[in-house]
């Protein structure tokens, strides 16, 4: 018995929590990226506005450029008290006019023009955001582009990005928590039918193998159908075993009782000739009991192999020839001719070689014991996609009206009541397991025949060697 595995509910909750956690982490990362972009866009507008105001304050004098940055250019940037502001203005000749002379430009090879150019850099050890733009001036003795650069440290931008990210993450976490709680409740409700199935099965009597009748969602309908299918197979298997055991007990009780009675008679018999007769009858009863026991074991073996042994490619020609040779010695005390005919050298079917050999042996044994006074013949041929095995003898055979009954276990004909009544039942079970049929026929020459029809294997199937197949 295997131990109980992890809870399905816990598995689902763990997987859902993991998915939500990964999703929340991804959304948090995306929120941080978009928050930084939004903060840069907001402060970049202020930075560009300051640069434009400085550019508007540029004037020309004869041979020179003057600039008087207005205070309003820095007032909006000063709303971030922890940030520092730097600027620089140079004339068309590159001469420094005002601001920090060592402030870097954002151009980095981009031509100077009226459109602002933004860049990130480091200045005096601080990460800064720089905007550079130009204003074209003309005057007496001077003409060209005046370059204006304004830089601001990034503290306010980062603070705004963190604030936006925190609010977004809190919103994501709140929604994720609500969704997780809702999904946990939904999973619990969705798994409730499984608990009902468990309770229904646990509350049953061990002998109750009726189908589970519970209204369940479509998603677990297949599971319940599989359980019911298994219960049906189990009930059929147990029922068959119980019937077989009851029939076997009944069939063995009669010869055992007769054997014990004859032993009692033998112990009380004093005459030598009568004792020899009693011993002969005891031997006959013992042989009958031995045959019955052997057939019962063979029947049980065939039933077991039908359930657990996979079918393999089997060549019927050598298999039937070997089974016929093994059974023939039973007839050596009688003048019986044995014939074997195969219309092809190989005829491959998918089957269990042990069970097939048992069937052939039973049929030949029946022909020797119950029918054939002088001939037993086996014939193999292919016909209409089937492999046909025919076991014929020149005996009286089975009357047509008894054909439907003789394949049932423990059915005996009046001509030979000492038989076990299992040989043909075993053959019928084996043929059913192979997808084939068992039939009877009276041939044109008057001989009685038992016909075994197997579906042929697909073309190109390679059979096992006989020794391997019988292993």
* Sheet strands side by side (includes 117-123): 96-99, 85-90, 142-153, 126-139, 117-123
Give the orientation angle of helix 272-308 with respect to helix 221-268, to 10 degrees.
170
CA dist 419 and 407 (Å) reads 14
Q: Domains of the chain (ranges plus CATH)?
A: 11-162 (3.30.450), 209-308 (1.10.287), 310-469 (3.30.565.10)
> In a 10 Å sphere around its CB, with 0-12 CB exposed, 13-18 middle and 19+ buried, how is residue 247 labelled?
middle
Q: List, in sequence order, every residue forming a beta bridge with 96; answer none if it has no partner.
A: 90
Give the 3-state secondary structure of 114-169. Answer: CCCEEEEEEECCEEEEEEEEEEEEEECCEEEEEEEEEEEECHHHHHHHHHHHHHHH
**Which pLDDT score, from 0 to 100, does residue 452 have?**
92
Return per-residue pLDDT of the chain as tens, 471 residues.
Answer: 455 566 777 888 888 889 888 988 999 999 999 999 998 898 899 899 999 999 998 888 887 888 888 888 888 777 777 889 999 999 988 889 999 999 988 888 788 888 999 999 999 889 999 999 999 998 887 889 999 999 999 988 898 899 999 999 999 889 989 988 888 888 888 777 777 777 877 788 877 788 887 777 777 778 788 888 888 888 877 877 777 677 667 666 767 777 787 787 777 777 777 778 878 888 877 877 777 777 677 667 676 666 667 788 989 899 988 888 877 655 456 677 888 888 888 889 988 888 888 888 888 887 777 667 778 888 999 888 899 999 888 888 888 888 888 777 666 665 444 555 667 877 888 888 888 899 888 888 888 889 999 998 887 677 765 544 555
CA contacts within 13 A on the Cβ side of 69? 20
CA dist 148 and 125 (Å) reads 22
Q: End-to-end distance of the chain based on CA atoms, in angstroms?
A: 30
CA dist 207 and 211 (Å) reads 12
At 94 the three-state DSSP class reads coil
Contact 388, 453 (CB under 8 A): yes
Torsion of CA 22, 27, 32, 38, to 10 degrees: 170
**Which pLDDT score, from 0 to 100, does residue 415 have?**
45
**Which pLDDT score, from 0 to 100, does residue 88 have?**
93
Instruction: Say which residues have a Cβ less than 8 Å from residue 412's Cβ, sequence separation at least 6.
Output: 419, 421
Phi first, then psi: give them for residue 15, nearest 5 degrees: -65, -45
**Which pLDDT score, from 0 to 100, does residue 331 have?**
46
Contact 343, 304 (CB under 8 A): no
**Which pLDDT score, from 0 to 100, does residue 380 have?**
92
Model-level pTM?
A: 0.49
Closest CA to 303 of 156, 422, 468, 457: 422
Which pair of tokens denotes residue 167?
Answer: 């609010």
Contact 259, 286 (CB under 8 A): yes
CA dist 216 and 228 (Å) reads 13
Q: List, in sequence order, every residue forming a beta bridge with 226; answer none if it has no partner.
A: none
């Amino acid at each position: 018995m295997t131990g109980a595995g992890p809870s399905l509910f816990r598995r689902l909750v763990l997987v859902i929590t993991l998915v939500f956690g990964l999703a929340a982490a991804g959304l948090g990362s995306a929120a941080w990226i978009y928050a930084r972009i939004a903060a840069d866009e907001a402060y970049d507008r202020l930075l560009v506005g300051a640069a434009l105001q400085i550019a508007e304050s540029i004037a020309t004098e004869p041979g020179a450029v003057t600039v008087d940055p207005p205070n309003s250019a820095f007032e909006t940037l000063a709303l971030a008290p922890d940030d520092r502001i730097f600027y620089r203005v140079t004339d068309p000749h590159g001469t420094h006019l005002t601001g920090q002379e060592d402030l870097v430009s954002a151009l980095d090879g981009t031509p100077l023009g009226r459109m602002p150019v933004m860049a990130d850099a480091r200045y005096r050890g601080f990460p800064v955001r720089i905007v550079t733009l130009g204003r074209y001036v003309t005057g007496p003795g001077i003409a060209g582009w005046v370059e204006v650069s304004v830089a601001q440290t990034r503290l306010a931008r980062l603070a705004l990005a963190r604030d936006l990210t925190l609010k977004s993450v809190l919103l994501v976490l709140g929604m994720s928590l609500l969704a997780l709680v809702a999904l946990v409740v939904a999973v619990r409700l969705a798994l409730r039918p499984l608990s009902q199935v468990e309770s229904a099965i646990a509350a049953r009597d061990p002998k109750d193998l009726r189908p589970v009748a519970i209204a369940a969602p479509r998603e677990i309908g297949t599971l319940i159908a599989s359980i019911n299918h298994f219960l049906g197979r189990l009930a059929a298997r147990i029922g068959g075993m119980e019937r077989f055991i009851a029939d076997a007990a009944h069939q063995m009780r009669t010869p055992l009782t007769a054997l014990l009675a004859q032993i009692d008679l033998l112990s009380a018999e004093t005459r030598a000739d009568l004792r020899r007769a009693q011993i002969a009858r005891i031997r006959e009863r013992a042989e009958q009991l031995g045959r019955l026991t052997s057939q019962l074991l063979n029947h049980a073996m065939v039933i077991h192999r039908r359930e657990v042994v996979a079918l393999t490619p089997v060549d019927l020609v050598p298999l039937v020839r070997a089974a016929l040779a093994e059974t023939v010695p039973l007839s050596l005390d009688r003048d019986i001719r044995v014939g074997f005919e195969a219309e092809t050298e190989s005829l491959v079917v998918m089957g269990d070689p042990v069970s097939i050999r048992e069937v052939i042996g039973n049929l030949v044994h029946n022909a020797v014991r119950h029918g054939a006074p002088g001939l037993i013949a086996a014939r193999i041929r292919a016909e209409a996609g089937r492999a046909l095995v025919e076991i014929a003898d020149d005996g009286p055979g089975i009357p047509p009206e008894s054909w439907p009954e003789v394949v049932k276990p423990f059915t005996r004909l009046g001509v030979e009541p000492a038989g076990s009544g299992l040989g043909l039942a075993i053959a019928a079970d084996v043929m059913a397991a192979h997808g084939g049929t068992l039939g009877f026929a009276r041939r044109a020459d008057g001989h009685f025949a038992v016909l075994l029809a197997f579906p042929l294997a697909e073309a190109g199937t390679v059979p096992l060697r006989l020794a391997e197949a019988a292993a």
